[in-house]
Chains A and B, each alone.
Chain A
């Protein structure tokens, strides 16, 4: 079996050491797609970074995105000629960049990309995410053609959600990309 490269894509300001993405990197050797600028997330720059990292991987790729990272996956997938390299995407707590026009740092991420993703995806949402309502999450899952997992009231599904290493999430992700 060809080894898969798992790439983690954090959201705005990146994921800190207690975030499950950072823990998964430490526990399972996953690779973070680093950005030049985590504070002012420029859409074009983030897309180019993902393209470059995907092209640098020698085998198939699985994407593990959180928050703005989910929008990055959708934006990249709507243009890239290399989407066939992606086996699956795990999209956790997508941030709704359209929830307010006043979010200056997300200006370039509006409107959100709604095109159906050209690879299998599982969208994980929370019932009390301050950055994306359950209705919007459901709509995004429908637009992107993603399977949908409602995690219950877990906030933004980040370090503040008390998930620790989030073994349940990792099991679900692994089962999903291997299916």
Chain B
């Protein structure tokens, strides 16, 4: 049965989408069956998975509005070797259109039930704001992966997310937990980053993943080619770090 994870952080620009698409590609590269769900109307995770968001006939929007199933709307990305339930600007309308419907925060969860045996992992890329879309992601998930840059204000953004997760856990989804914090864009030459990294370890202990994603030019370049770095340049240090992270995730879910 698929384990479902949101990649979330209420701070913008921390590498959520990069983490989602590269983890998806890395899991696929080690033989896992993966569905990547893009819940951000910007559609960057869709484009970054080799799917043109402008050409999609169906998207996660249709799934949330219950006019299509996940199987109907998901597309296979041949280069990435995972399925993509994509998003484009149309998804912004769901914020308006779901306001007055029942079970509005559980639309995605209910839709994913039908495909739970088809995948090992479902990864959901959430928008940075706490919206109905993010709530749908958090209600669907067994856990949250939090990408973090080891910078001075990183912990402040984390406080907001932890409070949100507590509320969702208490009211909507008792399964929800933080699976772990992933240190991304890490540069060990910067003393502050080492200090913040140590603080994270001291404060969150085992919740901090062992894998560390280094700041890497090839990961940054990959989206302009419409591919995750793991696919664009598998030999790059950043790509290899994501494969290590994927292995760590597989180990962690066996203990869940």
A residues with a Cβ closer than 8 A to B are 36-37, 40, 42-49, 51, 76, 79-81, 107-108
Q: Is the CB of A79 within 8 A of B89?
A: no
In the complex, what distance in Å separates the CA atom of A35 from the CA atom of B13?
25
Residues on A with beta carbons closer than 8 Å to the beta carbon of B92: 44-45, 48-49
Chain B residues near A48 (CB-CB < 8 A): 41, 89, 92-93, 95-96
Contacts of A108 in B (CB 8 A): 90
Cα-based distance from A80 to B95 in the complex (angstroms): 9
From DSSP, what is the main secondary structure of chain B's interface residues?
A: helix
Q: Which residues in window 91-122 of B have CB below 8 A to A?
A: 91-97, 99-100
CA distance A47 to B97 in the complex (A): 8
* Chain B: interface residue total (CB-CB under 8 A): 16
- Once the chains bind, are A45 and B93 in contact (CB under 8 Å)? yes
Answer yes or no: B88 CB below 8 A from chain A CBs: yes
Residue on A nearest B57 in the bound complex, by CB: A107
| A45 adjacent to B90 (CB under 8 Å) | yes
B61 in the interface (beta carbon within 8 A): yes
Whole-angstrom CA separation of A79 from B64 in the bound complex: 15
> Which of B54, B61, B100 interacts with A44 by CB under 8 Å?
B61
**Best-surrounded residue of A44, A49, A81 (most CB of chain B within 10 A):** A44
Q: Are B91 and A44 in contact (CB under 8 A)?
A: yes
A44 pairs with B93, CB closer than 8 A: yes
* B97 and A79 contacting across the interface, CB-CB below 8 Å: yes
Q: Do B89 and A51 touch (CB < 8 A)?
A: no
The answer to whether A44 and B99 have CB atoms under 8 Å apart is: no
Bound together, the chains give a CA A51 to CA B100 distance in angstroms of: 15
Contact A79 B99 (CB under 8 A): yes
Q: Please pick, from B91, B94, B99, the residue contacting A80 in the complex, using a CB distance under 8 A.
A: B99
Give complex CA distance A44, B87 in Å.
11
> Cα distance A72–B128 when bound, in Å?
28
CB distance from B47 to the nearest CB of A (A): 15
> In the bound complex, how far is the Cα of B93 from the Cα of A51, in angstroms?
9
Kindly state the separation between the CA atoms of A49 and B54 in the bound complex, as whole angstroms. Answer: 17
Closest 7 CB pairs of A and B: A44-B93, A48-B92, A44-B90, A42-B90, A45-B89, A47-B93, A48-B93
